[in-house]
């Protein structure tokens, strides 16, 4: 599933294309993805102007000039493509939004989702704080609300493994399996360690590792392991910098100990038993 860096890559690609531009056409190929799509999504968007897109956790948010927000969740296999010429839509291209372009032409924004685990919603901006997907989310790990103090507060008394806590979007927004594994390795913390024991120096190390890993991944366009591509069709190159994720049995990049893998809450955790305690 696309995580924070992949979604931020999409947001950054969309920003210069849609900001201030008018929607001139909308194609909606089906009535549902993971859940039913909003009624009359095409007519509600037609003629509207987009403001600068935002990101909240793993969601792209595109405000319109009539006080609504178009929310895009890429799910497990979804991707956004931006075309300069009108594309021939394929079987899994479910939505296409056409906007004016500064050069007098148009840009075509296509949502492709083979497995249909993604979702699109259109809701009033005033309802953002109560929206069912957004209301319970923790702070952004790249924002001012994220700190070692916050981590110690929300992890306090948790008996679950720290890896599970990092994936809980109610505690910290946007972190998924890949970057949780990578951040724990960088911080030297075992994914088995109890979350409630992450205090003082460990909390500082983990916060620094999360921020460093996420920023590096954004700079590389995210991680392409199966489905993720950037809106221009490029792959994400952070896959070349992965230290533990997907490297079970390979030597640790630091100490050469074979990387281990365990399953925690249905997700694979990769770690070095020597470097991470």
Architecture of domain 4-130: Alpha-Beta Barrel (3.20)
pLDDT of the residue at 231:
66
Mean pLDDT by 10 residues, the chain (277 residues): 88 95 98 96 98 97 98 91 95 97 95 94 97 96 96 97 98 96 98 97 98 92 54 57 94 98 96 98
Can you name the residues that pair with 61 across neighbouring β-strands? 54, 71
Residue 92: both structure tokens together: 């899994």
9-36 burial: b if 16+ Cβ within 10 Å, else e:
bbbebbeebbeebebeebebeeeebbee
- Tell me the pLDDT tens digit for each residue of 68-101: 999 999 998 889 999 999 999 999 999 999 999 9
Catalytically annotated residue among 12, 192, 215, 267: 267
Whole-prediction pTM: 0.92
What is d(CA 41, CA 53) in angstroms, rounded to the nearest whole number? Answer: 18
Active site (annotated) includes residue 267: yes
Catalytically annotated residue among 55, 56, 58, 260: 58
pLDDT of the residue at 221:
76
Catalytically annotated residue among 3, 6, 8, 220: 3
Classify 148-271 by CATH class.
mainly alpha
Backbone angles phi, psi at 261, to 5 degrees: -135, 140
Residue 241: both structure tokens together: 């910098």
Active site (annotated) includes residue 192: no
pLDDT of the residue at 235:
45
What is d(CA 19, CA 59) in angstroms, rounded to the nearest whole number? Answer: 17
**Sequence spans of domains, the chain:** 4-130, 148-271
| Closest CA relative to residue 12, chosen from 218, 243, 266 | 218
Report whether 5 contacts 238 (CB < 8 A). Answer: yes
What is d(CA 74, CA 12) in angstroms, rounded to the nearest whole number? Answer: 15
pLDDT of the residue at 239:
65
DSSP, res 117: -
Active site (annotated) includes residue 84: no
CA distances to 204, 257, 275 from 189, rounded to whole Å, are 12, 15, 8
Active site (annotated) includes residue 56: no
């Amino acid at each position: 599933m696309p995580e924070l860096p992949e979604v931020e890559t999409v947001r950054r690609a969309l920003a210069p294309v849609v900001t201030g531009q008018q929607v001139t056409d909308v194609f909606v190929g089906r009535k549902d993805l993971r859940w039913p799509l909003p009624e009359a999504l095409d007519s509600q968007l037609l003629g509207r102007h987009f403001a600068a897109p935002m990101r909240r956790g793993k969601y792209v948010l595109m405000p319109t000039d009539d006080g609504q927000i178009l929310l895009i969740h890429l799910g497990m296999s979804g991707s956004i493509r931006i075309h300069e010429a009108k594309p021939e839509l394929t079987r899994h291209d479910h939505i296409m939004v056409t906007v004016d372009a500064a050069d007098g032409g148009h840009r075509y924004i296509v949502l492709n989702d083979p497995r249909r685990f993604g979702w699109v919603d259109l809701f009033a901006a005033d309802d953002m704080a109560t929206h069912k997907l957004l209301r319970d989310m923790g702070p952004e790990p790249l924002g001012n609300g994220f700190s070692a103090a916050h981590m110690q507060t929300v992890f306090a008394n948790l008996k679950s493994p720290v890896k599970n806590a990092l994936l809980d979007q109610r505690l910290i927004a946007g972190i998924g399996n890949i970057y949780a594994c990578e951040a724990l390795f960088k911080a030297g913390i075992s994914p088995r360690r109890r979350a409630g024991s992450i205090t003082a120096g460990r909390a500082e190390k983990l916060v620094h590792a999360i921020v460093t890993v996420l920023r590096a991944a954004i700079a590389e366009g995210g991680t392409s392991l199966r489905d993720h591509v950037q809106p221009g069709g490029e792959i994400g190159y952070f896959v070349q910098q992965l230290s533990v994720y997907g490297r079970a049995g390979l030597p640790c990049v630091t100490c050469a100990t074979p990387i281990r893998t365990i399953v925690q809450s249905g997700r694979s955790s990769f770690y070095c038993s020597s470097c991470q305690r």
